[in-house]
Structure 1
Amino acid sequence: MNLLKCWKNHFNNFRLSQKMLFVYFLIFGAFSTISIAAMQTTLAIYDNKIYENSLQELFYFVNTIENELDNIEKSSSSIAIDYEIQKQLTNMMSMSNKQEYLLNMSSFRSQLLNEALGNESIMNIIYTDRNGVELNVGEKYVALPEDIYRTILEKADEAKGGFVYIEPTLEFPYLVSGRDIKEHIDYSLDYLGTLIFINDINVIFERNYEFLKSGQKNICVFSNNEIVYENDGEYFKDIPSITDEQGYRIINIKHKKYFMCYLKSEKTEWTFVNLFPYTNIFMLNSIIRMLMLVGFFVLFITAYFAMKKLSLYITAPLEKLTKSMQIIERGEFEQAKLYLDKVEALSEVGILKKDFLIMIDEVMTLIHENYEKQIILKDTQYRALQAQINPHFLYNTLNSINWMIKSNENEDASRMILSLGTLLRVALSSNTVSTVLEELELVEDYIFIQKFRYGKRVEFIIKKCSGLELFKIPSMSIQPLVENAIFYGVENSLQPCTIKIKLDKEEDYLNIIVSDNGMGMEDDLLEKVKNFQVKTTGNGIGLKNIKERLTLLFCEDFKLQIQSKIGEGTMIKMTIPTYRSDFNV
């Protein structure tokens, strides 16, 4: 809540053009966020469709491979149960003449050759019987390793006429399959020999690539983490292990991103993997994403500068009007009028500007009409205030000088006359402002005169700080405070009295404190003194004089405090600003 309030205060302090740009940021930012989110959602759905299509393509491919393997199984089965072949092999098994046996074997060879030539994936068909006679036919001879030959014979024997196969390996990349031929004519199931098919797995895969529509096809087939087939060994040695039945992943191989789609065959339990560069299929999506982001960024920057220029165009008259008002605050009315252009407009700002110019003219007229009157009035006020200097002090001082002369105290009389002359010169001067240092020197002259009158009844202590010549106050401001201290502290006390004058600086203010340890005042009298309600000579008239002149000079930026307590004395504290030292009244 406090954070929201803080942001609200910051927003309120913005200029109008900044507020317009801020609102633009919010609106366009929300629009951009929603648009980008919608685009990302749409492209994500499209990506999922691509993933599903890729998996579907691989599914068709696997089914086709399984059908190819089924065809191999069917071919071996059709040969094994063919009536003519069964009859021929049964007769051959009963022949004791070797030449006749070989002659029939030659005929059987032709049948096997026709079968081999009819399927381009079959490299060789091998027939062997119990006598170890081996018949090898096919378009291309492939030497079958002895260990694989023995293994397929064992597996065929264990299958009792069922179809068996040995998966290709990197060392022998051919699918080896086969079955035992059992005698079915009389259902004796006697052994008539073993058929072995050698199939080129590359041919099987390559002629079915059409089901994979991606541009670059990298196929690999795994069986128990052993490679059955691969068409590019550069990639598949770095792919991670696969444990689930089907799916797709995005993987990194050699610092490049690839899309890997995989599916496990239920028939063979082989895992088929199709791997291709990510950009081959997702390039369009990547380009769309990039174009959308770049488009939004360019649109945002363009709209920002357009909005900034528009906001400045709209708010420029208001800012000029505000600047003109600030010039008015400095009292430069003519400069404020010159700052505003003369273009007439019917908009709200134009009407406001017109009324403001009218107001300036009226204020200038009023100032010119009343300026001289106010100057005369202030001058009269100053002179009237100066006229309030206590006349009793003058009478008593002259009387003291008279007695000094009669007593032949000429030097003291001379010094007193000089001090009195200084006081009268300042009181009657046309200067209404003096420095604090000049005022303090005037107080010293005043104290010199009063010491002759009161003698040991009063002691004066002055404590001052440096730099008093830099600060200005109304003339004759400190002397009346000392005069009041003498009146309330000395004349009303039977004991010797001490009057302290202390000046000290406190940040941007100067404190002038005049205190005494006399009898003090009762609360009722103190309240009357504070309100300038005491009318007798010497009682409060000097303070009112000071307050009126301080008000004319400092307005309300000063303090005049009075504290007094019976038996403890009275203190008057005047606080004036030190930063206002450049006025000339």
Structure 2
Amino acid sequence: MDNGIFHVIRVTPETGNIFSYQPFLLSLAISVLILGSASIIIFCLIFKPLKNIVRLSEHMNRQNSHTLSLYPGKISRDETGDLILSFNRMSERINELSESLLNNEIQLKNAQIEALQNQLNPHFFYGTLESIRMIAEANHQELISDIAYSFGNLMRYSLSREYLVPVSREIEMTRQYVSIQEKRLVNRFEISWDICELDDKWRCPKFALFNMVENVFFHNVSKCRSFIQAAVILKKDGDDLIITVKNTGPGIPPERLAHLRYLLEHPRERDTMTSENNGRGIFNINDRLRLFYGGDYRLDIDSEENVLTVCSVRICKHYNGF
């Protein structure tokens, strides 16, 4: 009341529906939009990795040979990409091991074939050589007697069933071979020996040194009229022993030297060498070194034409193989 005056206010509802659907519908639309967008994003995040995994699985199921092929698809930057990279690295390693195993099997079969071809009766040869030596001694032919004796020892050595022999024995057999060449090729060459102190624990593949020295006579002394100077050097390098053979003479032309080095690293390509100078001796040494000691042990060869040829191998003292 204000001065006896009444103010009356009447409140009446609006005509129509009191409840409004607009805010609710707007909220619902926004919620649906957010949920839809989130669903699409989550679907993409989950489906894409699963799709890559399915493709990788299908690729793995298609591998039906001993050589695995790498995954050819796109590699994403997530966990599935790491999985694909791991699979590719594993495939490369398996392929390397498979190829190495195949090469070893081929070399083993070749060795078995050569062993079958060389299964001659050694007693017949020993008896024949001993008869020649006795006849030569009876007739005072000391040169023939010495050659027959040395040759008989070399045959016994070559037919022995040893993979690794004491280095001292390998040196002894090589010296006997050189003594035969000294009687056959008088005043055609000179060879020096620089050998460090060794015990019987030092062992090497049979004919490792022998074949290197044999190459000096086969490719140099017998192929030219020049006087050949050769040297055999054995020196220790920690737990390794380096065997080096140097010689003067015609040497190896650069093109052939490069080809030999290539074939030392690629055994499957050696069938291309069809000449009598096919390098089988050095290939045999190199392959056996790798089989016995691993890939870090190999034969190294270097040559300057008409000047000097150097051939060397490295063997390990601590070998626990065959």
TM-score, normalised via structure 1 length: 0.31
Contact conserved, 1:489 with 1:570, CA < 8 A, in 2?
A: no
- Answering whether residue 283 of structure 2 is matched by residue 548 of structure 1, we say no
Q: Runs of 5+ in structure 2 lacking a partner?
A: 1-103, 119-124, 265-269
Report the counterpart of residue 315 of structure 2 in structure 1.
576
Q: Structure 1: where are the runs of 5+ without partners?
A: 1-374
SS in 1 for 2:185: helix
Task: Give the Å deviation of 1:495.
Answer: 1.3
Q: How does 1:415-494 map to 2 (within 5 A)?
A: 415-494=146-225
Q: 1:525 to 1:379 in 2, by over 3 A?
A: closer
Aligned residues: 198
Among 255, 275, 280, the alignment partner of 1:524 is 255
2:99 alignment counterpart: none
**Kept after mapping to 2: 8 A contact 1:505/1:511:** yes
Aligned residue in 2 for 1:567? 306
Alignment of 1:230-309 (within 5 A): none
Contact residue 513 and residue 573 of structure 1 kept, 8 A: yes
d(CA) in 2 for partners of 1:476, 1:451: 19
Q: Aligned-pair distance for 1:410?
A: 2.3
Paired with 2:309 and 2:210, the residues of 1 have a C-alpha distance of 16
Counterpart of 1:500 in structure 2 is 231
The 1-side partners of 2:251 and 2:190 are apart by 17
Is the contact between residue 438 and residue 469 of structure 1 (CA under 8 Å) also seen in structure 2? no
Give CA-to-partner distance per residue, 1:207-252, whole Å, 9 cap, x none: xxxxxxxxxxxxxxxxxxxxxxxxxxxxxxxxxxxxxxxxxxxxxx
Structure 2 counterpart of 1:356:
none
**Offset of residue 538 of structure 1:** 4.7
Q: Verify the 8 A CA contact 2:136 2:145 in the aligned structure 1.
A: no
Query: Per-residue displacement from partner, 1:64-93 (whole Å, max 9, x unpaired)?
Result: xxxxxxxxxxxxxxxxxxxxxxxxxxxxxx
Instruction: Return the TM-score normalized by structure 2.
Output: 0.54
2-structure distance, mates of 1:472, 1:428: 18
Listed as ranges, the matches of 1:187-198 within 5 Å are none
Amino acid at match of 1:568: V
Does the aligned pair in 2 maintain the 1:502–1:513 contact within 8 Å? yes
Question: In 2, Cα distance between the equivalents of 1:513 and 1:386?
Answer: 28
C-alpha displacement of 1:467: 1.6
Q: Is the 8 A contact 2:220 2:251 kept in 1?
A: yes
In structure 1, distance between residues paired with 2:258 and 2:223 = 18
For the residues of structure 1 that align with 2:143 and 2:190, how far apart are their CA atoms? 18
**Percent identical residues:** 26
Query: What amino acid does structure 2 have at the position aligned with 1:463?
Result: D
Q: Does 1:414 align with 2:145?
A: yes
Question: Is the CA contact (8 Å cut-off) linking 1:426 and 1:476 kept in structure 2?
Answer: no
The question of whether the paired residues in 1 share the 8 Å contact of 2:234 and 2:243 is answered with: yes
Task: Give 1:412 shift.
Answer: 2.3
Q: Secondary structure at the match of 1:511?
A: strand
TM-aligned CA distance change 1:380 to 1:427, over 3 Å = farther
Report the Cα distance in structure 1 between the residues aligned to 2:190 and 2:163, rounded to whole angstroms.
Answer: 30
Partner of 1:417, secondary structure, is helix
Higher relative contact order (CA 8 A, sep 6+): 2
Deviation at 1:561, TM superposition (A): 0.6
Secondary structure of the residue aligned to 1:469 is coil
Bigger radius of gyration among the two: 1
Q: 1:464: Cα distance to partner?
A: 0.6
1-side partners of 2:223 and 2:230: how far apart? 14
1:411 offset after TM fit, Å?
2.1
1:558 aligned to 291, 297, 309, which one?
A: 297
Aligned partners of 2:206, 2:212: CA distance in 1, in Å?
13
Whole-angstrom CA distance in 1 between matches of 2:244 and 2:218: 16
